[in-house]
Amino acid sequence: MRFMRADAKKLKEKRVEEVKEQRKNIPVNYDLWVWIRYYHWDRRIRDIDNYTKIVLDCMNKIVFEDDNQIQFLYLSKYYDKENPRVEIEIKQSLSTI
């Protein structure tokens, strides 16, 4: 069984609400290509893959039915002290068109 600390759970719930505010359509149910760009505010060492699971989990049932629809996942990290953010680009997989 997996457990999440209370502060982490609260942060995840906040992120889910942010996704809901930005996505007003019903979740898609076809295969996807996803690009995630992380813009950090500093140059501390971070493992890029540690952030990805929670980002995708926050989009489940809102943007797409389930993250198992993702056929290709591209990750990159950058630094932007003035505007830290996560940019996500999602496209229908060419194999399903």
Read off the pLDDT of residues 10-30 as tens digits, 9 standing for 90 and up: 878 888 888 888 877 788 899
Where are the domains positioned within the chain? Answer: 6-96
Which CATH number describes the domain made up of 6-96?
3.30.1330.70
Residue 69 has a CB neighbour count (10 Å cut-off) of 20
Q: How far apart are CA 56 and CA 15, in angstroms?
A: 11
Residue 34's closest CA among 97, 96, 81, 92? 92
> Over the stretch 39-74, which tens digit does the pLDDT of each residue have?
999 988 888 888 898 889 889 998 999 999 999 999
Say whether pLDDT at 8 is over 80: no
> Over the stretch 71-84, which tens digit does the pLDDT of each residue have?
999 999 999 999 99
- Partner residues linked to 74 by β-bridges: 35
39, containing H or E segment: strand 32-40
